[in-house]
Amino acid sequence: MAFSNCYEDAKRAAAYAQLELGNTYYLVFRDLPEIIRGHVSGTKAIDFGCGTGRSTRFVRQLGFDTIGVDIAPEMVAKAKELDPTGDYRLIKDDDLSGFEGGTFDLVVSLFTFDNISGFLTKMRLFRDLGALLNASGKLVNVVSSPEIYTHEWASFSTKDYPENRKARTGDVVRIVTTDFADRRPAEDILCTDESYRELYERSGLEVVASYRPLGKPEEPYPWVNETTIAPWVIYVLGHKPAK
């Protein structure tokens, strides 16, 4: 099945720039401040796959000096337009060599790995991101759970893509974001918890903690399946201890 990066698109960038931190997305941003405070010391951060800068601005509001990086020029251009004083950088071919290794307290990657194909490519990137961390630094990787592609949500629909149910790690899955007008499906790459843990292990990282946020009935959002099925997984990663 052919795969293309649907985020390298000006119309898509404009749509994502309008997204708020509500509905299904709220579950990630609700819990991240406490998770980050509980695991990270220091204030130097890099946001890998920053898109239009929403996550970069969010991390900066937590008190971090944050650099946003992305491979999509349309996304970086929109981030700079929305936040002219922010530090957003376009990186070619996922090349992180321009950043000094071992100097970051926090690396965040929110939903980025949903759209990266190839086990070896993912592994290389996790190694490169891990190399940016200082000795006590943490990588917070937020990904879509496999279940997000087989259910309906406050922010997403997958009902037109029943083939998602047969997908395995590495397969293309499609999902429509209903929080904005651009209803073209995003094409993501399925990756299971087992596969992510293998990737981390082989990249020299260990899972310090993982979280699967659920919606609460009293929250002011039109939950569909969010109160019983977690659409996201939040992994907190650190360096594997030397043997």
Nearest to 161 by CA among 170, 172, 33: 172
Contact 55, 108 (CB under 8 A): yes
Average of per-residue pLDDT across 64-71: 97
Average of per-residue pLDDT across 98-125: 96
164 CB-near residues (< 8 Å, 6+ apart): 149, 150, 158, 173, 174, 175, 190
Contact 50, 68 (CB under 8 A): yes
* Stretch (H or E) spanning 97: none
Residue 208: how many other CB atoms lie within 10 Å = 15
Query: Which position has the higher pLDDT, 158 or 15?
Result: 158
How many whole angstroms separate alpha carbon 153 and alpha carbon 138?
30
pLDDT at 114 over 50: yes
Average pLDDT, the chain: 92
pLDDT band at 32; cut points 50, 70, 90:
very high
Output the CA angle 140-145-151, nearest 5 degrees: 145
Contact 60, 66 (CB under 8 A): yes
The DSSP bridge partners found for residue 67 are 46, 87
Contact 176, 208 (CB under 8 A): no
Superfamily classification of domain 10-143+192-239: Vaccinia Virus protein VP39 (3.40.50.150)
Nearest to 226 by CA among 151, 149, 175: 151
Average of per-residue pLDDT across 110-134: 96
pLDDT at 68 over 50: yes
61 CB-near residues (< 8 Å, 6+ apart): none
pLDDT digits (tens, 9 = 90+) for 35-48: 999 999 999 999 99
Q: Which amino acid is at 29?
A: F
Instruction: State the DSSP string of 17-76.
Output: HT--S-HHHHHHHHHHHHHHHHH--SSEEEEET-TTSHHHHHHHHTT-EEEEEES-HHHH
* Paired tokens of 124: 């290389």
Residue 161: how many other CB atoms lie within 10 Å = 17
Residue 241: how many other CB atoms lie within 10 Å = 6
How many whole angstroms separate alpha carbon 22 and alpha carbon 5?
25
Average of per-residue pLDDT across 114-121: 95
Helix (H, G, I), strand (E, B) or coil at 192: coil
Residue 61: CA atoms inside 13 Å, Cβ hemisphere, count?
10
pLDDT digits (tens, 9 = 90+) for 177-224: 998 778 899 999 999 999 999 999 999 999 999 999 999 999 999 999
